[in-house]
Amino acid sequence: MTDREMDTFAIDNLPPVEQWPEFSNLAELDYPEKLNCAENFLDDAVAEGFGEHTVIVTPDQEYSYARLQKDANRIAHVLLDDCGLLPGNRVLLRAPNSYMMAACWFGVVKAGGIAVSTMPLFRAKELIVMIEKAQIKTALCDARLADELQSAKSDSILEQILLFGESELEKMMSGKPETFENFPTAADDTCMIAFTSGTTGNPKGTMHFQRDMLTICRAYSEPILAPTPRDRFIGSPPLAFTFGLGGQLLFPMYARASTILLEKASPDLLLSAIKKYQASIVFTSPTAYRFLLSELKDGDLSSVRTCVSAGETLPKPTWDSWKEKTGLEILDGIGSTELLHIFISSSADDIRPGATGKPVNGYQAKVVDETGNEVPPGTTGKLAVKGPTGCRYLADERQKNYVQNDWNLTGDTYKMDEDGYFWFQARTDDMIISSGYNIAGPEVEAALMTHESVMECAVIGIPDEQRGSLVKALVVLKEGFSADELLAKELQDFVKKTIAPFKYPRALDFVDSLPKTETGKIQRFKLRQV
């Protein structure tokens, strides 16, 4: 397989090396030149005797490491034999958290492809942007989510969609061998492109190497979670989020543990599944922990030993209430799509409630001023991080903003105390973080502006006890339209149909005008002061 023609798109679209952050502590990790991470997570597990050990639990079935390996191998054969996949080709994956989503991810990586996972809620408009940016021609999609992807296909370069869920992909897999020779990718070959929305609503593709998948396990999961094959992981974030991919697939598999995948993980369903499947390690957002508190009747989570929180800041009252009701201490953490996973965290033996924690193994962090100089403890400034993972945007000028002076600037405002604990203060951009989801205000504005009644609008985040922030829209109507509850509901539903439903404005006010500068720019800071 080494003589297969290569697609050099990923290599060609990496940022210039001089714009990369400094990647520290890589020597200590000692990765071989050739590395296909699917071998480490899956094939080695089977070779070590874990073939019959449960890897994935769904509400319908339990799957072993050996079964997952065979299905991933069959998918790799389909991609090569029937789709003509070349090493380096990007493959879009569209599905909820499910066994087949995991099998497809490993099938793509085994074949030398680059996985581009998307959230089930994304609409055609959002999918097209990702397809065009990553130049994707092949997609593997849950049959229940085909409509939006088919719409995207008609207006993009996407050429083929294979559906799964008692559909054509399974039929094609049935005739394929159970074994597969993994493509010999290099440790620094891109195996995944994860998209994150910026404040402009223009998504950024973050490029992650084969070695990065193992690094986050060795830097965070091993020392902080200390999982064993007896552990059962569970959580709410989608596998399309790097937070979900790590916490609900890579971390458990690296430890030869099991993971419980839920297609829907609302607090009541998550709580029920924790108890039913005796989950021991939980990954979810502060918002979910607050909702879980209201669902807990007796506080009995006897199977759980570790609770992890990330995606947004964890308020101390939530931490305190959870500890009081369950006896469990939540491990707070901050990560980013750019750095793949959590880089600052509390740990079981070192928790300062209210603080995010300290840099995890292999990472450094500091707080800097506008010029990039480190500020004294107790001073608020920009969070700068570096370590064995870091930002590499796909052909994006914003690389220069995220990486400065060899450090990753995360877009968060922090302060560090005298003891080295980092305390979150705020986001430094216009991103709205609601229930752990990143929502770009300008993207919601763009959706609203396509409605016939909207003259202009502005979208901001407002504080919310349950969700952290709420998306709020302030709308100026065109003449002839009435500002009433009926139209407000119509606009909210319209946004849900235009972009991912979780982005819709839960609060919507009609106003006569918006505050602007002399050059006509909307002054959002004034709206936040109202």
Which pLDDT score is estimated for 519? 43
Outline where 339-406 has alpha helix (H).
Answer: 399-402
Where do the DSSP E strands lie in 337-467? Answer: 342-345, 358-359, 364-368, 381-386, 403-404, 407-416, 422-427, 431-434, 437-440, 454-464
Helix (H) or strand (E) holding 214: helix 210-216
| Mean pLDDT in residue range 425-433 | 72
Mean pLDDT of 302-307: 96
Residue located via tokens 């890589």:
26
Cα(389)–Cα(431) distance, integer angstroms: 23
User: Region 223-237: what's the mean pLDDT?
Assistant: 97
Q: What is the pLDDT of residue 517?
A: 53
Rounded-to-10 torsion of CA 64, 65, 71, 76:
170
**From CA 393, how far away is CA 490, in angstroms rounded?**
37
Local confidence band at 318 (pLDDT 50, 70, 90 cut-offs): confident
Distance CA 188, CA 424 (A): 32
Between residues 170 and 519, which one has the greater pLDDT? Answer: 170
pTM of the model: 0.87
Check whether 317 has a pLDDT greater than 90: no
Radius of gyration of the chain (CA): 23
Taking alpha carbons only, the member of 58, 91, 49, 88 closest to residue 72 is 91
User: What local confidence, expressed as pLDDT, does residue 200 receive?
Assistant: 44
| Non-local CB neighbours of 28 within 8 Å, separated by 6+ positions | 362
Per-residue pLDDT, averaged over 111-129, amounts to: 95
Q: Which tokens is 370 given?
A: 């506008």
pLDDT of 2 > 80? The answer is: no
Check pLDDT > 90 for residue 493.
Answer: yes
**Band (430; pLDDT cuts 50, 70, 90):** low
pLDDT of residue 299: 62
pLDDT in tens, 437-481: 878 787 888 899 889 999 889 999 998 888 888 999 999 999 999
Neighbours of 179 (CB within 10 A): 11
Residue 352 to residue 366: CA distance in whole angstroms: 18
3-class secondary structure, 34: strand
Q: Which of 75, 83, 283, 267 is nearest to 182 (CA)?
A: 75
Q: Please count the CA atoms within 13 angstroms of the CA of 36 that sit on its side-chain side.
A: 23
- Name beta bridge partners: 476: 456
Average pLDDT of the segment spanning 100-129 = 96
| pLDDT of 525 above 90 | no
Q: Which pLDDT score, from 0 to 100, does residue 413 have?
A: 86
Q: What does the CA dihedral 101, 14, 40, 228 come to, rounded to 10 degrees?
A: -70
Per-residue model confidence as pLDDT tens digits over 141-185? 999 999 999 999 999 999 999 999 989 999 999 999 999 999 999
Q: Which domains does the chain have, with CATH numbers?
A: 9-416 (3.40.50.12780), 431-529 (3.30.300.30)
> Residue range 45-59: average pLDDT?
98
Share of the chain above pLDDT 90, in %: 78
| Cβ pair 383, 414 in contact under 8 A | yes
Beta bridge pairs of residue 141? 94, 163
For residue 527, what pLDDT is reported?
84
Q: Which long-range contacts (CB under 8 A, 24 or more apart) does 478-485 make?
A: 478/452, 478/453, 478/454, 481/453, 483/510
The model's pLDDT over 235-246, given as tens digits with 9 standing for 90+, comes to: 999 999 999 999
Chain centroid to Cα 340, Å, comes to: 8
Look up tokens 């931490």; give the residue. 319
The span from the CA of 385 to the CA of 450, in Å, is 39
Residue 205, strand partner residues: 195
pLDDT greater than 50 at residue 27? yes
Partners of residue 160 on adjacent β-strands:
138
User: In this prediction, what percent of the chain has a pLDDT beyond 70?
Assistant: 96
pLDDT digits (tens, 9 = 90+) for 366-422: 999 999 999 999 998 999 999 999 999 999 999 999 999 999 999 988 999 999 999
The CA distance from 526 to 205, in Å, is: 32
pLDDT at 199: 36
